[in-house]
Structures are given as C-alpha cells and as structure tokens.
Amino acid sequence: MRLAVAVVGLGAVLAYAGAGRGEEEPLKQALALEGAIVKAVERAEGAVACILVSRSEAYRRWDKLDPQGGRREPGRLGGFQMPDGGPFRDAATTDLLKRLNLAATDVVPDAYGSGVVIDPSGLVLTNYHVVKDATKVFVRVPNKGGWYADIYAADERSDLALLKLIEMPEGPRLRPLPTLAMGDAGKLKKGQFVIALANPFAAGFRDGSPSVSWGVLSNIRRRVPGEPNDAERRRPRLHYYGFLLQTDLRLNLGCSGGALLDLKGNWVGLTTAQTALAAGESAGGYAIPLDDRMKRVIEVLRRGEEVEYGFLGITLDRAGKAGVEAVTNNGPAALGGLASGDRIVAINDFPVDDQDDLLLNVAAHLAGSEVRLTLQRYGEAQRNTTVVLAKSYWQANGPVIAARRPAPVHGLRVDYTSTLFRGVAGDVNGIPSGVVVRDVLPETPAARAGLRPESDIITAVNGTTVNKPSDFYAAARKSATVELTLAEGGRKVRLP
C-alpha cells in the first residue's frame, strides 16, 4: 500500500518538475523507479527470514540434555520434537506444548525478529538482542520451509548474532539457500533511495515472506536516540559511537535483523528496531551499516569465533578531538611511540575527526591487527607510526558464544593481559607482559594445579616468552607436557 501511494506521490512531483517535457515522461520515470524496486525485492526477498524466539525454560521437561549434568555449550539450543501423545497429557500440558512448538504455523510466537542468510549452508545474521537469552530459535525462510537453529556466534557489543540452521532428523534435506549481493555502506550518501525487507510484528511467521518498505537515507553516522545510562557508558556498544544509518522508514518490532538494500538490490545494512524496543519515537528507523568495519566483525562471526576488539592504550584529552593526554605503559600506543600531546588524525588513512571516530575505528580493527596511525603535534609535520592492537576489556552479559573457541591446553585457555586493564593511562603499572589465564575447566590438570582465571599471568611456556594468546597456544601444543612460568614470583607450574 505504502509503495503504491509513494510512487503515485512521486509521479505527481515528477509531473510538476517535468512540465513542458511531455505528459508521458514523468510517468515513465515513476514506473522506472517502481520497476527498480520490484526487481530488487524479487532478487533479495528469498534471503530474508522470519526468526521466532522462545525464552521459556519449559523445554527442559522434554529436551534430551547433553551429558555432564545437562550442561550445554553456550548458544547450543538444539531442536524440539513434539513428544508422542499419551494418556497422561492433560489440557494444560497440551496447550503448553502447542506454544513451545515454534515450527507450528498456527501459533503466534512470543518473540520474533528478522534475519538475513549470509551462507547457502544455513548461516543467518540477525541482531543479538533478537536472540539474547533464547532457549529455542526457529528460522522460517520464504519458499524453503523452516528449521530450528543454534546461535553459532554472537557479539553483544556490535549487537550481531549468527545463527546456524539445524536439519531436523525427519525433515527434508537442507537445500542451498539464496544469499544477497553485499554492497558497501561506506559509499552511501544522504538522500539515496533505500529499501527495507523485514518482518514487522512477525508478519511472515507462517510463510517466511518479508514485508517491503522504501524511503530515503536520512543521515549517516547516527546514534540510537536517547542518552546512554551508566551501564552503557561503562560498557559502550558500537551504537554509542554514532555509526548507524538513519532512514525515514518506520521500523517496528520484528524488523530487527532485516535487510536494507540500495535500488540495485545490494545489501548495505541490517535494520534494527532499537527505538521501538525502547518504546520511543524517532525520526525514522536505523540500520547497522555494512561497511569495512562491520564486515570484519561479520567475518569473525562467520568463522564461529569470538569478536576481539582492538585496544590502543591511551587517555584522550577533553578538547573533543582525538588528542592524547596520557599513554598506558607497555600498551600498543606506548610501544608505537605515542606520547602526550600527539593528536591522531587518521587510522589506515581513514580520517579521524573526533573521539567517536577514534574509538570506533580502533575497536573495529580488532585485536592483533597492525594499523598505521597518522599523528600531528602542534607546530610539527605529520608523522606515521605502526602499532599492533591489543584486546579491549569488554564484559558481556553472559558467557562467550562462539562455536570455535581455542581448544584448551590441559584445561586452560588464555587471553590478552590488556583485558585486565581498568586503570588510567599513564599508570606506572600499565599492562603486564605475558598472557592472562581466562578459563580453567573443572577436573583438569590446570584446575588441579590451582591456576586462577583473570588473576594468574603466564610469561613463558617451556622457556619461550609469550605475549599474545597465539604465542601461548603455538608453544603449548608442541609437547605433551608444558612448564608454565607465572609472573608472580616466577613460579613454575607443570602440566599435566
């Protein structure tokens, strides 16, 4: 309906603008725009799914839990098969099972969203808030049917999650799913026409068919409306730094995780209904841009890994620009020669105009990345320096969800020591050398040795100095027995 009205309205505008050029020309232009939208939708809609979510704990009554006390790996939700009927099933149980069966097309789900297929094998990208705390997730794809899904990898900071479809034992063989041509949101301009494909209020929960709306790109580099609370200031999500696309589209509940397209049908953003979730009014809807920064994050999720954000180790001055007030001892900035009074004007030739630019681009270049900083001091010529980013501290609400985490060594996983840093840049202690113990699995050699997560720091493995997790795993996997040197007193620990 909106599409027809909008095209008619546009036709009227073109008719006015095209006065004197013939009566048919404005209509041709309107029909050309209409045709472009229809063609883009036809190409893309098969890759936009409706996601149904349950957060009920009642599944435990029928689910076959994993061994080891019923503990599952984070994100592994599994499918759900309706149990056989029996003489003991009462009306209340029957009604409960009906509501738990997300595969049924006659039950409106309690929670829902949208998703975009990014791999024909069955990987679907959505917003993290859509599936946060989910106990079951079901994905319905247009003309392909539906499947339960696990959360393959998730990242709360970018509000992205990647689902992996589960082929049900009695269902048809999973066929290759259509995907979208990925565009470059970094080249978008204000005023461009954009198209949204999503499932407002779970409109496609029966057949998976997404709804379409279209409008213009109102602005770029926008934050979600409203002031962040104290918790968000302490744990800033990427949205906080103002990188969202703003459109004049109204994105209601259920539109989170939908596809934002340009007129050629290229996928340029993932729609988010954050404003609707906050029960607020705003000028239009928002989308996460598919620019180089977010493509790096999505690629990490596609590999099933944890997203590790970059850390530079500086305190910024209060002038609003990217000026360095202090430098963290032994951090990437200090090792790269940065000092108080420097101003960062570019990262890998990407201009840095303010602190949000700096914080966003350092984070999104990810830990372990080598980046080139262009620096400016008052009265001096610009200079370049190269730094290798460490990992920023980020305490997510819940366990890490990543299908492919590093295999533990004798029950031990490690992390960058920069994740311990909570102080102020310039602190004489700074970032310690080595790697910090992150996970100690119960009843393993590491647990029996008394190693302490987020406390013990390992400086060497079998006499080889280690300063990154990759250093640790490379050295520790060379032999069946490892000798760890701890920072505290140089104590030696032998595993197993």
Contact 177, 76 (CB under 8 A): no
Confidence of residue 222 (pLDDT cuts 50, 70, 90): confident
Spatial separation of the C-alpha atoms in residues 17 and 432, rounded to whole Å: 67
Question: What pLDDT is attached to residue 8?
Answer: 43
How high is the pLDDT of residue 234?
63
Helices 292-302 & 355-364 angle (0-180, nearest 10) = 30
Question: Could you give the 3-state DSSP secondary structure of residue 345?
Answer: strand
Distance CA 32, CA 40 (A): 12
Average pLDDT for 310-334: 91
Ordered alpha helix ranges (H), 354-483: 355-364, 445-448, 469-476
Q: Which residue has the higher pLDDT, 423 or 190?
A: 190
> Could you tell me the sign of the dihedral formed by the alpha carbons of 385, 353, 286, 192, in that order?
negative
5 pLDDT more than 80: no
Domain with CATH 2.30.42.10 in the chain: 310-391, 412-495
d(CA 51, CA 43): 20
Question: Is pLDDT above 90 for 414?
Answer: yes
- Kindly report the backbone phi and psi dihedral angles of residue 184, in degrees, each rounded to the nearest multiple of 5, phi listed first: -125, 105
Q: Specify whether the CB–CB gap between 258 and 212 falls below 8 A.
A: no
CA angle 488, 308, 158 (to 5 degrees): 140
What is the pLDDT at residue 385?
A: 96
Q: What is the pLDDT of residues 265-313, one digit of tens each?
A: 999 999 998 665 554 555 578 999 999 999 999 999 999 999 999 999 9
pLDDT given for residue 63 in this prediction: 73
Q: What is the CB neighbour count within 10 angstroms for residue 22? A: 10
Evaluate if residue 13 carries a pLDDT over 50.
Answer: no
Q: How much is the average pLDDT of 254-267?
A: 95
Instruction: List 219's β-bridge partners, or say none.
Output: 246
Residue 460 pairs in a beta bridge with 465, 485
| pLDDT, position 271 | 96
Mean pLDDT taken over the chain: 87
Indicate whether 4 pLDDT > 60: no
pLDDT in the model for residue 450? 96
Q: Mean pLDDT across the stretch 63-90?
A: 72
Token readout for 441 is: 């699995």
pLDDT in tens, 378-403: 889 999 999 999 999 887 777 899 99
**DSSP-based three-state secondary structure for 128:** helix
The answer to whether the CB of 80 falls within 8 A of the CB of 62 is yes
| Token duo for residue 354 | 């303010």
> Which helix H or strand E contains 415, and what residues bound it?
strand 412-416
pTM exceeds 0.85 for this model: yes
- The reported pLDDT for the residue numbered 337 is 95
Share of the chain above pLDDT 90, in %: 64
Topology given in CATH for the domain delimited by 412-495: Pdz3 Domain (2.30.42)
Unique residue bearing structure tokens 């034992």 = 169
The CA distances from residue 80 to 62, 135, 254, in Å, are 8, 11, 23
Confidence at 71, pLDDT banded by 50, 70, 90: low
Distance between CA atoms of residues 344 and 327, nearest Å: 13
Angle at 254 between CA 206 and CA 79, to 5 degrees: 55
Mean pLDDT confidence for 159-180: 77
In this structure, the number of other CB atoms found within 10 A of the CB of residue 6 comes to 17
Q: Where in the chain is the domain with CATH 2.40.10.120?
A: 44-290
Percentage of the chain lying above the pLDDT 70 cut: 86
Between helix 24-44 and helix 2-17 the angle, nearest 10°, is 150
458: exposed, middle or buried (C-beta count within 10 Å: 0-12, 13-18, 19+)?
buried
Instruction: Say whether pLDDT at 169 is over 60.
Output: no
Confidence band, pLDDT 50/70/90 cuts, at residue 145 = confident
Residue 233 banded pLDDT, cuts 50, 70, 90: low
Q: Which CATH number fits domain 44-290: 2.60.40.10, 2.40.10.120, 2.40.10.10, 2.60.40.420?
A: 2.40.10.120
User: What string of H, E and C letters represents the secondary structure of 178-209?
Assistant: CCCCECCHHHCCCCCEEEEEECHHHCCCCCCC
| Rounded to 5°, angle at Cα 124 from 121 and 125 | 145
The CATH code of domain 310-391 reads 2.30.42.10
As given in the structure block, the two tokens for residue 162 are 């990647």
Mean pLDDT of 185-203: 94
For residue 367, the Cα-to-chain-centroid distance in whole angstroms is 16
Return the pLDDT at 14. 47
Calculate the CA dihedral of residues 464, 467, 469, 470 and round it to 10 degrees: -60
Which residues neighbour 407 within 8 Å (Cβ) at sequence distance 6 or greater? Answer: none
Highest mean pLDDT among 15-19, 231-235, 308-312: 308-312
Q: Which long-range contacts (CB under 8 A, 24 or more apart) does 21-30 make?
A: none
User: What is the pLDDT confidence band of residue 66, given thresholds at 50, 70 and 90?
Assistant: low
DSSP letter string, 100-139: H-TT-TTS--SEEEEEEEEETTTEEEEEHHHHTT-SEEEE
Q: Is the pLDDT of residue 232 over 70?
A: no
| DSSP-assigned states of every residue in 324-377 | EEEE-TTSHHHHTT--TT-EEEEETTEE--SHHHHHHHHHHT-TT-EEEEEEE-
For 399, the token pair is 């366990």
Residue type, 432: P
What is the tens place of the pLDDT at every residue in 452-484?
Answer: 999 999 999 999 999 999 999 999 999 999 999
- Write the Ramachandran bin of 38: left for phi over 0, alpha for psi from -120 to 50, otherwise beta: alpha
How large is the average pLDDT for residues 312-321?
87
